Structure 1
Amino acid sequence: MGPPWLVADNLWERIKPLLPVRERRRRYPGRLPLDDRKCLQGILFVLHTGIQWEWLPQEFGFGSGMTCWRRLRDWNAAGVWDRLHQALLTELHRAGELDWSRAVIDAAPPGPSGRPKTGPNPVDRARPGSKHHVITDGRGTPLAIALTGGNRHDVTQLLPLVDAIPHIRGKRGRPRHRPDRLYADRGYDYDKYRRLLWKRGIKPVIARRGVPHGSGLGTVRWVVERTSAWIHGFRRLRIRRDIRDDIHQAFLKLACCVITYRRVLSFQSASPLP
C-alpha cells in the first residue's frame, strides 16, 4: 500500500462526480487550474501530517498550499464531504454492514486553541479549546460529527447529532436514519432529552448520575471512544490550528469520510469472490 494521502482510483471514482464544475473564462482564461485529484492529495497530506499549508512539499505535485486550502473551502461549502459520507454509508447499509440496532454518542476535546468556536474548557484549566462531538453506529462507523466550543455541555449536541444522521437508502423500504437505541454516558443524563429521544422513536440507554460506576455500558460505548481515537489519529485534528471554524469542520468531515471508506474497503476485502 502507498502513503495514506494517495487517492486510489476507486475512491476518486466516488469523489469526482460530486465536485463542483468550475467554469473557465472565455476571455483572459489564465493558467489551467491545478488537477482536482492532486489538490485532494495535498489536502489529505495536511490532514494526516498536520503541517502548515505553506509547508506543503512541492515535489509531490500537490500545488501550492493556498490552492489546496481554497479547494477544501469551496468543496466544503458545496457539500462535497456530506454527500460523499452519505454515499459511503449507503454502500455499507446496502451490504448490511451498518448496525442500526444501537448508536453511541460521545465528545472529545482536541488540544487547546484560541480560534473561533472555542471556549474555556472546564476540564483543562479553562484554556480555550474546542470539542468534537460524534455519533456512531454499533460498530463504530461515524454517522455524524459536530464542532463546538470547549465550554459547551455534551448534552447540547445530542439532538443535533441525532437529527444530522443522513437518510440512508437501502435495497427496499424507506430510507433509514434512526437507530433503535442510543447509548451515552452520565454527561447526557437528563430526563428532558430522554423524552425527546422517545418521541423520535429511539430508546435512550444512558448511565445515571450519582450511582456507583459499573453500569456495564462500557462494553457497548467503547466503539465511539475508538472512533474518537481514529479521528484524533489525524494530526491536523489533534490540536485546533485552523483559524476558521469551517475549515476545521471540513477536516472533521473529511476524516469521517476516510474512516467510513476504510470500513467499505474492509467489508469488500472480506466478502467472498463470486
Structure 2
Amino acid sequence: MGRGDLTNAEWHRLESFLPRGGARGGRWSDHRRVINGVLYRVRTGVQWRDLPERFGPWETVYKRHRRWSADGTWAMLLSRVQAAEDAEGRIDWDVSVDSTAVRAHQHAAGARKVPSRGSSKGGRAGDKPGRSGAAGTGRPIGGGDQIGECLGRSRGGFTTKIHLAAEGRCRPLALVLTPGHYGDGPQLDRVLEQVSVPRTGVGRPRNRPDHVLADKAYTSRKNRRYLRRRGIRHTIPERLDQQRHRHNRGSDGGRPAGFDSERYKKRNTVERAINRLKGFRAVATRYEKRAYVYLGTVTVATLMIWLRT
C-alpha cells in the first residue's frame, strides 16, 4: 500500500456501495486500484498521463473518475459515509458557510461547448453529467459558456469559487461551484439546500442545521428571511452601513439582528475545512476543463476528509 492509498478499514467502508457491473454489462477493473489512482492524482495534482504504473492504465483511472463524477457515484459514496457518521452521533450540526476562490490553470480553459438539443456538434460522448451541482444533487452548476464551466475573472485572475457548508468538526457537508466573480451572499440558500444527510434506517434525510454561522458577506434581509422561514437559528453580524441605515429609519428600521459573539467564534470551522480541502493539490488549483469533473475532484477530497477525520 502506497502513501495516501485506501487503508483496509477505509476500503471496507466503501466496498459494498461500489457499482458491481461495468459499462455495457462488462466487468470493472479492480475498484480499489483505480480509486487509489484517483486519490494519488487528487493529492498530488499530477497530469493523468503521469500516474505511476501500479495504478494500471491512466486512461482507465481518468475515465472512471469522469464517469463517477457525472453519474453521482462520488457524491453517493460521500452521502453514505455522512449517513454512517450521523447515525453514530458524530456530526456537529452547528454549520458554518463560506467560500474560497481557486485559481484555474491555463489548461482549464478551452472546453468545447456543450451542444444544444438536437445538435450533433460539440463535446465528446460521455462529457454530459447526469448529476451535477452540489454533492448528491441534480442541480445545475451554472448556465452559459464559461459560466457553465464555472470559470470567471476576478481579482485573483481566472478563478472558480467553491461555496461550502462545514459542520462543527471541520468537514464539508455540501459543495456548490460558481465562477470566481460571483458573490458569496446570494449563494447561501443554494449551499444550505444541498445539505442532505440520509438516515441509515427509516426517515427523511436530515437537511436542517441546528445553527448557521456566516460572516458579513451573508448579511442581507433575503438571507435572514430564508433562514427564519426554514426555522434555522443563525449568527451573522450586520455591516456598519446596514446598522446606520436601520438607525436612520427610526422605528421603521426594525429591531437589530441578534448576535452571539461567543458562538460566532466557532465560525473558524469552515476556514479550517477549506484549509483541509486545499491540502489536496488538484483542489487548490483547478486543472479540469469541465466543471462537473472538477466538482468530482473536490468531492473525492471531501470523501477522504470524512473517512480520515
TM-score norm. by structure 2 comes to 0.74
Q: Which residues of 2 match residues 114-133 of structure 1 at below 5 A?
A: 115=109, 116-121=149-154, 123-124=155-156, 127-133=157-163
**Cα distance in 2 for residues equivalent to 1:53 and 1:76:** 16
**Cα distance in 2 for residues equivalent to 1:25 and 1:174:** 33
- Specify the alignment match of 2:9 in structure 1: 10
How far apart are 1:2 and its partner, in Å? Answer: 5.3
- Specify the alignment match of 1:229 in structure 2: 275
**Cα distance in 2 for residues equivalent to 1:63 and 1:7:** 16
**Cα distance in 2 for residues equivalent to 1:244 and 1:173:** 35
- Specify the alignment match of 2:248 in structure 1: none
Change (3 A) 1:83 1:112: closer
Query: Is residue 207 from structure 1 mapped to residue 237 from structure 2 by the alignment?
Result: yes
SS in 2 for 1:110: strand
Q: Which residues of 2 match residues 85-164 of structure 1 at below 5 A?
A: 85-100=78-93, 102-113=94-105, 115=109, 116-121=149-154, 123-124=155-156, 127-164=157-194
**Cα distance in 2 for residues equivalent to 1:69 and 1:24:** 15
- Specify the alignment match of 2:39 in structure 1: 44
How far apart are 1:210 and its partner, in Å? Answer: 2.0
How far apart are 1:170 and its partner, in Å? Answer: 6.1
Q: Which one-letter code corresponds to 1:38 in the other structure?
A: R
CA deviation profile, 1:151-182 (whole Å, cap 9, x unmatched):
11112221111111113326787542211221
2:66 pairs, out of 66, 73, 93, with 73
Of 225-234 and 160-169, more deviation after overlay is shown by 160-169
Q: Work out the number of aligned pairs and report it.
A: 251
**Cα distance in 1 for residues equivalent to 2:75 and 2:231:** 24
**Cα distance in 1 for residues equivalent to 2:80 and 2:215:** 30
Tell me the C-alpha RMSD between the 2 structures.
2.5
How far apart are 1:136 and its partner, in Å? Answer: 1.1
**Cα distance in 2 for residues equivalent to 1:140 and 1:19:** 26
CA deviation profile, 1:37-58 (whole Å, cap 9, x unmatched):
1111100000011100011111
**Cα distance in 2 for residues equivalent to 1:24 and 1:106:** 38
SS in 1 for 2:164: strand
- Specify the alignment match of 1:270 in structure 2: none
Q: Identify unmatched segments of 5+ residues in structure 2.
A: 110-148, 244-259
TM-score norm. by structure 1 comes to 0.83
Q: Which one-letter code corresponds to 2:10 in the other structure?
A: L
SS in 1 for 2:240: coil
CA deviation profile, 1:167-211 (whole Å, cap 9, x unmatched):
332678754221122100011111111101111111221121127
Of 139-148 and 223-232, more deviation after overlay is shown by 139-148
How far apart are 1:217 and its partner, in Å? Answer: 6.0
Please tell me whether the aligned partners of residues 118 and 130 of structure 1 are also in contact (alpha carbons under 8 angstroms).
yes
CA deviation profile, 1:9-61 (whole Å, cap 9, x unmatched):
232233233333335779xx8xx753221111100000011100011111xx2
**Cα distance in 2 for residues equivalent to 1:92 and 1:20:** 22
**Cα distance in 2 for residues equivalent to 1:22 and 1:257:** 22
- Specify the alignment match of 2:292 in structure 1: 246
**Cα distance in 2 for residues equivalent to 1:120 and 1:202:** 34
How far apart are 1:216 and its partner, in Å? Answer: 5.6
Change (3 A) 1:57 1:147: same
Change (3 A) 1:18 1:76: farther
- Specify the alignment match of 1:19 in structure 2: 18
Change (3 A) 1:49 1:192: same
